[in-house]
Chain A
């Protein structure tokens, strides 16, 4: 079975400060990891993915994520937060070579204060 944990329901950060949204996962074998963002009344938008290769993955809108195999984590980061980054963020995982069905975390609400 595969699972994702997003330990923080909400993350608050001041505009211009770095942000981190945490994600840990459990999967059999090698993981494929993803981050999505959901704005109010909108569907999910793909931000970035880790399949293999460099542990630091760069994605859309200046976001990046760091894969740490020993800690089974895939934290989302951004060096300087914008108010417009305020949204709901979802981490997802699936097993490499598996059924292509991703398992999503419960989501983390990011609030960036002006």
Chain B
């Protein structure tokens, strides 16, 4: 049973570019949440997708957008990249939007913006 998978593992972009990160949830899970973890910080909630809709959103600008597909996989898109967007981006899945406490995290995508 595969856990949460994310791709790519690492990514280097330049300021102003756009990036798409991908996540496949744990088998049987239907809810995906995205987090940004800056160096030396704890994860910060970006948004959550359930039934292909954004259900909750943290304090992130509209440059951060997402999508969930019918197979429950998800994408995180970031436009007009800033240096401050450099971070580890974590995807987490759960069975239902109210089970975030026991959500399963993927290994993350490390994004470096130059």
- Asked if residues B42 and A101 are in contact (CB atoms below 8 Å), the reply is no
Tell me if A106 counts as interface (CB < 8 A to partner B).
yes
CA A34 to CA B107, docked complex, whole Å: 19
- Asked if residues B102 and A49 are in contact (CB atoms below 8 Å), the reply is yes
* Partner among A44, A46, A49, A99 whose Cβ is within 8 Å of the Cβ of B43: A44
Tell me if B105 counts as interface (CB < 8 A to partner A).
yes
Tell me if B90 counts as interface (CB < 8 A to partner A).
yes
- Asked if residues B102 and A102 are in contact (CB atoms below 8 Å), the reply is no
Q: Which of A37-62 contact B (CB under 8 A)?
A: 41-46, 49
CA A106 to CA B41, docked complex, whole Å: 4
- Asked if residues A45 and B43 are in contact (CB atoms below 8 Å), the reply is no
- Asked if residues B42 and A100 are in contact (CB atoms below 8 Å), the reply is no
The 21 sampled A-B contact pairs (Cβ below 8 Å) are A32-B101, A34-B101, A41-B107, A42-B107, A43-B4, A43-B90, A43-B107, A43-B108, A44-B105, A90-B43, A99-B56, A100-B56, A100-B97, A100-B100, A101-B48, A101-B100, A102-B45, A104-B44, A106-B40, A106-B41, A107-B40
